[in-house]
A and B are shown apart, each in its own frame.
Chain A
Amino acid sequence: MMSDLTKFTLAEARDAVASKKVSSLELTRAHIDAIEKARGLNAYVVETPDKALDMAKASDARIASGQAGPLEGLPLGIKDLYATEGVHMQACSHILDGFKPPYESTVTSQLWRDGAVMLGKLNMDEFAMGSSNETSYYGPVASPWLPAGWDAEKGRAALKGDKKGLLVPGGSSGGSSSAVAAHLCLGATATDTGGSIRQPAAFTGTVGIKPTYGRCSRWGVAAFASSLDQAGPIARTVRDTAIMLRSMAGYDAKDSTSVNTPVPDYEKAVGASIKGKKIGIPKEYRIEGMPAEIEALWSQGIAWLRAAGAEIVDISLPHTKTALPAYYIVAPAEASSNLARYDGVRYGLRVPGKDIASMYENTRAEGFGREVRRRIMIGTYVLSAGYYDAYYVRAQKIRTLIKRDFELAYNDGIDAILTPATPSAAFGIGEKGSADPVEMYLNDVFTVTVNMAGLPGLAVPGGLSASGLPLGLQLIGRPFEEETLFSVAEVIEQAAGRLSLPQAWW
């Protein structure tokens, strides 16, 4: 038996628990201890150890009576964007101060249905708006990866201070990626509106998949941009994400954009041959000023897939460049509408004013952080009279063109598309975006197209940068063909070799 139970992959833990080599209680206790020792990273905003132990005992009882579910007894972390009945849910915003939902999100209820154990709620950028987890009301999250040249002592000193200089875990699902990479859970739920699963996974050497729009129910997940938001998992291996996605996905009548199509056993696709698969390499992703090590990573990925028998095809997605600016119209517009509900009346924070309008204005000024206020204002502007056609309608037309680019490639027989996941390795806390918000937005240049087109996208570690930090590759698939992504990603994972994640220095 492994001495440190947190070092299991989710699949290994599942097999150990199912064969009664380890109890869920032991596995859960090991994670609770690890979380307590890692508080400096700030990955969890709320720990629910009592609930976790109760759920673990119930799992052990079900295993004993032969009624185990597919995730029986496996401890997971939950992003704070998901409603968890009776447990803190604030989207890491001050405006939802004290909110405890009286209902459970569909996705988390499916995880509990399948036997999973909840360890707590994970930090994130406020309302999922950010790429570094620095916009959280609860403060930034540190990545377990240390910057080049740092030793454990320097890292611990920074954790006690303002964390400046330590690396960001990406965002918005930064608590999820940091917790998974630091072995503070076997896997975590996350969400992705413009790259919020894939970019944090790439920054921390973990695997993340944003499934096709409509694959996972959005019910009970706080809305940011409804036409782009999707739930998905972050875990340490391709297989682990495949196992989690099977439980998270599925039709839900409570989400009108949920698609009623059967959920395959994704794990079966892990290890399947990719011989003869056509992998598209889009020339537009070779952006100006791209670091040489990202180019090299991409070429390496191409070589691995070719060696596995895939056919590499050069393709063109001509509207790629328009995706990021169009996203910064569509997403804020939808956010300004979705976030109108936070008015100090039905839940959360209320800041008094001289009349009801000033109560709304004071509550929203104090309750929302800078980035969220900025996006609501941009969204309000592009939807306002006289600008709606010039900005919003134009952006939606461009979205049609972006999607058409992908459709043409897929019509030509392309099975999946390979790109880098991010334009660089992780940067430091406090390093980006303070002067110009757009500097931070550029992080999502490779991921945002996928949300605009509603496609599935997966980030898998491909290697290390010159400074020893993880770099990720992205795979983009056809709608509802997540299985292809798992098969191709497994080839990359096997070829690259599983990254050895940082030992606990925190």
Chain B
Amino acid sequence: MSVDQATVRRIAHLARIAVRDEEVPHLQEELNAILSFVEELSAVDVSGVEPMTSVIPMRLPLRKDEVGGHAGADVITRNAPGAEDHFFTVPKVVE
């Protein structure tokens, strides 16, 4: 399988990565190189094989349903590029 330029733009949008027009042909080439590299997998017989979900067989542990240790809102928002009164700030979403 290979991707066309419209697909490259669609993937970039799904991944929320802005791409400039002049980048698209090059990206298309690189993505197609990777896709052609993985193409050989389509020849592998996987009938009756379960997809791996856990590489080491284990039961997912459950913890007690209680509030755990956390640093508090001030500490958590300290690294934010925009914060006000322990809240993250973002561009206006609702008019």
Contacts and interface: CB of A to CB of B under 8 A. Distances in A.
A103 B14 contact: no
Interface string A362-395: 1011001000011011101100100100110111
Interface string B10-23: 01111111110000
Contacts of A353: 91
Contact of A347 (B38, B42, B80): B80
A156 B71 CA distance: 46
B56 A213 contact: yes
Given A346-B80, A364-B15, A365-B19, A377 B31 contact: yes
Contacts of B56: 212-214, 257, 259, 454, 479
B52 interface: yes
Interface stretch (A69-77, A242-250, A270-278, A398-406): A398-406
B34 A437 contact: yes
Contacts of A214: 56, 58
Interface stretch (A140-148, A202-210, A286-294, A323-331): A323-331
Contact of B11 (A253, A256, A381, A452): A381
A441 B38 CA distance: 12
A360 B16 contact: yes
Contact of A213 (B7, B11, B14, B55): B55
Contact of A346 (B18, B30, B75, B79): B79
Interface stretch (A22-30, A94-102, A127-135, A489-497): A94-102
B36 to A, nearest CB: 8
A300 to B, nearest CB: 32
Contact of A400 (B13, B16, B27, B52): B52
Q: Which of B8, B51, B82 has the most CB of A within 10 A?
A: B51
A151 B16 CA distance: 47
B49 A365 contact: no
Nearest to A385: B14
Interface residues of A, number: 73
Looking at chain B's contact residues, is the secondary structure mostly helix, strand, loop, or mixed? loop
B15 A380 contact: yes
B16 A328 contact: no
Contacts of B84: none
B41 interface: yes
B44 A398 contact: yes
A396 B81 contact: no
A395 B27 CA distance: 23
B60 interface: yes
B50 interface: yes
Given A329-B38, A437-B34, A257 B18 contact: no
B35 to A, nearest CB: 8
Contacts of A401: 44, 46, 49
17 contacts: A214-B56, A319-B44, A325-B39, A328-B37, A345-B82, A346-B79, A355-B91, A359-B91, A362-B18, A364-B18, A397-B51, A399-B51, A400-B50, A400-B52, A403-B55, A438-B33, A452-B55
Interface of B: 1, 3, 7-8, 11-19, 27, 30-31, 33-35, 37-42, 44, 46, 49-56, 58, 60-61, 63, 71, 75-76, 78-82, 88, 90-91, 93
Given A227-B55, A364-B17, 17 more contacts: A102-B79, A325-B41, A336-B15, A346-B76, A346-B79, A346-B80, A347-B79, A347-B81, A357-B16, A377-B8, A377-B11, A384-B11, A394-B46, A396-B52, A397-B50, A399-B55, A453-B55
Q: Which 5 A-B pairs have the closest CB atoms?
A: A454-B55, A396-B51, A350-B81, A361-B18, A365-B18
